[in-house]
């Protein structure tokens, strides 16, 4: 595996983990909100919104690292 492939794999795994952690935090915020902790739930959601703002940049960076799959030439 080349260095570029290793970095791409690592960053893809980190992005996936970030998505799962964000989903878990949203569930926690919902639970906190349901149990009367509205101000705390709002602070959690504010931090999650900060994380969500970075998603497009992360996805763009990952797509720039992934190799371009060119179609195979067609033979007649």
The token pair that represents 68 in the structure block: 């371009």
pLDDT, one tens digit per residue, over 1-16 is 778 778 888 888 888 8
Could you give the CA distance from residue 51 to residue 66 in angstroms, rounded to a whole number?
Answer: 23
Find the length of the chain.
76
Indicate the range of 25-34, 48-57, 58-67 predicted with least confidence. 58-67
Report the pLDDT value the prediction gives residue 69, as an integer from 0 to 100: 66
The token pair that represents 45 in the structure block: 């959601």
Average pLDDT over residues 42-47: 88
pLDDT band at 52 (very low <50, low <70, confident <90, very high): confident
| Residue 22 confidence (pLDDT) above 80 | yes
Spell 19-40 as b/e; 16+ CB within 10 A means b.
Answer: eeeeeeeeeebeebbeeeeeee
Name the residue with tokens 């060119």.
70
Q: What is the pTM of this model?
A: 0.62
């Amino acid at each position: 595996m080349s260095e570029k492939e290793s970095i791409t794999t690592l960053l893809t795994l980190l992005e996936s983990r970030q998505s799962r952690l964000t989903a878990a935090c949203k569930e926690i915020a919902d639970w906190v909100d349901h149990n009367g902790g509205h101000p705390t739930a709002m602070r959690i959601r504010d931090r999650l919104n900060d994380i969500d703002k970075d998603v497009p940049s992360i996805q763009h960076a990952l797509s720039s690292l992934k190799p371009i799959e060119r179609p195979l030439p067609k033979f007649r």
